């Protein structure tokens, strides 16, 4: 039985999505209209934050948020290396110098200790990634004395205690790329913050550095969430909690069916409610396991085998940072197994059986 790496589908929502897209076409407003405004309000309310600013994608969101937080060219920004490349790319595009910090390979997230080891008097911000749907210890990181940006691209709907990821840092960024827990039908992103000034600057930066389309105060970006994507997101946002519950159910099924005998299972950070954007295990022979699963038509994939501090474009920043043993271990051993809102108990059994035979 084939099991796909992404076990989610929007099929059930297609009639309603087609309808709202037709409504946007009929309405004739395509950029910064009522759908974007309503989605910004609804997503901010869902997260428990004061402001949401819709932008073109999750990468621009990082650049815009860092600049809105006051990062200037040449400032150091502490970032994990074990993340999707866009985290660091977003910081470099803001003019910042990334300084790599390590992660805890059990949670795949940064910790106050790993961040502190990378901080210098030139550190102007920290980017903490809520990786794979886990939540980094943002409240503890805020004690370190510089603004904390949550890269929450992979953690829409996750919680730490009674608060949502995205409402924990000085600002947060989201991606609504189609494979994300809260997807749209193309590119889309958001900057979220409680800070009125950060929100005002983010709004300005997403529109060419202008507040009124006449006077251009800064060199900014053309990076807006569009009306079509906002309309789609307004249909799908009410589904997010149910979808995340289904993902947690699949993670529980993996545990119940004994996957832990064959691989190290993902660990929610203390106090975190994980949303399993990806279900990532660790295994000493991860590529062999991937090949064994693929021979049984089961999707499995390593995402960051070459972490950002070793990528050609961004390796040049690496020497300034500390050693990264947790990153090296995670990069070598991680493997994403099938996950999604529609992963059946039978599929979970098939994956566990595949791991059992692939581990011998």
**Residues forming the site for ligand PLP (CB under 6 A):** 57-59, 83-84, 86-87, 129, 151, 153-154, 175, 177, 187, 189
Of 309 and 354, which has the nearer Cβ to ligand PLP?
A: 309
**Are 303 and 108 within 8 A, CB to CB?**
no
Residue 76 CA to residue 125 CA, distance in Å, equals 7
To ligand PLP, the closest distance from the beta carbon of 332 in angstroms equals 20
CB of 133 or CB of 354, closer to ligand PLP: 133
Least Å distance, CB 19 to ligand PLP, is 25
For residue 306, the minimal CB distance to ligand PLP (Å) is 16
Q: Minimum distance from CB of 180 to ligand PLP (Å)?
A: 7
Start-end of H helices in the chain: 14-27, 34-47, 58-68, 86-93, 112-118, 138-142, 196-206, 227-236, 240-256, 286-295, 325-333, 345-358
189 strand-pairing partners:
55, 175
How far apart (Å, rounded) are the C-alpha atoms in residues 235 and 300? 30
Q: Which is nearer to ligand PLP, 107 or 175 (CB)?
A: 175
Q: What is the rounded distance in angstroms from the CA atom of residue 292 to the CA atom of residue 359?
A: 9
* Residue 119, number of CB atoms within 10 A of its CB: 16
Pairwise CA distance, residues 82 & 106, whole Å: 13
* Smallest separation (angstroms) from ligand PLP to the CB of 59: 3
Distance CA 277, CA 337 (A): 11
Q: Measured at CB, which residue is nearest to ligand PLP?
A: 58
Nearer to ligand PLP (CB atom), residue 223 or residue 333: 223
Judged by CB, which is closer to ligand PLP: 64, or 292?
64
């Amino acid at each position: 039985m084939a099991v796909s790496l992404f076990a989610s589908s929007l099929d059930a929502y297609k009639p309603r999505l087609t309808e709202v897209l037709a409504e946007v076409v009929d309405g004739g407003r395509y950029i910064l209209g009522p759908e974007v405004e309503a989605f910004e309000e609804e997503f901010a309310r869902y997260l428990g934050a004061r402001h949401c600013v819709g932008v073109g994608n999750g990468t621009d969101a990082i650049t815009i948020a860092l600049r809105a937080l006051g990062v200037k060219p040449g400032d150091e920004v502490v970032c994990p290396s074990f993340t999707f490349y866009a985290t660091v790319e977003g910081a470099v595009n803001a003019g910042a110098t990334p300084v790599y910090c390590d992660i805890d390979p059990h949670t795949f997230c940064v910790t106050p200790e790993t961040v502190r080891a990378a901080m210098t008097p030139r550190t102007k911000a920290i980017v903490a990634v809520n990786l794979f749907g886990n939540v980094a210890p943002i409240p503890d990181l805020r004690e370190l004395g510089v603004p904390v940006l949550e890269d929450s691209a992979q953690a829409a709907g996750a919680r730490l205690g009674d608060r949502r990821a995205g409402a924990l840092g000085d600002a947060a960024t989201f991606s609504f790329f189609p494979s994300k827990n809260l997807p749209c039908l193309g590119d889309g992103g958001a900057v979220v913050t409680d800070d009125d000034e950060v929100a005002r600057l983010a709004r300005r930066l997403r529109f060419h550095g202008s507040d009124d389309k006449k006077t251009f105060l800064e060199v900014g970006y053309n990076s807006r969430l569009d009306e079509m994507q906002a309309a789609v997101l307004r249909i799908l946002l009410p589904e997010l909690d149910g979808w995340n519950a289904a993902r947690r159910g699949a993670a529980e099924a993996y545990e119940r069916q004994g996957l832990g005998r064959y691989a190290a299972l993902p660990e929610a950070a203390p106090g975190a409610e994980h949303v399993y954007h990806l279900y990532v295990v660790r295994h000493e022979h991860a590529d062999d396991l991937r090949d064994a699963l693929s021979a049984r038509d089961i999707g499995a994939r390593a995402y960051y085998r070459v972490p950002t501090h070793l990528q050609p474009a961004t390796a040049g920043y690496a020497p300034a940072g500390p050693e990264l043993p947790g990153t090296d271990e995670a990069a070598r051993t991680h493997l994403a197994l099938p996950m999604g809102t529609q992963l059946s108990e039978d599929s979970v059994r098939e994956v566990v059986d595949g791991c059992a035979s692939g581990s011998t």
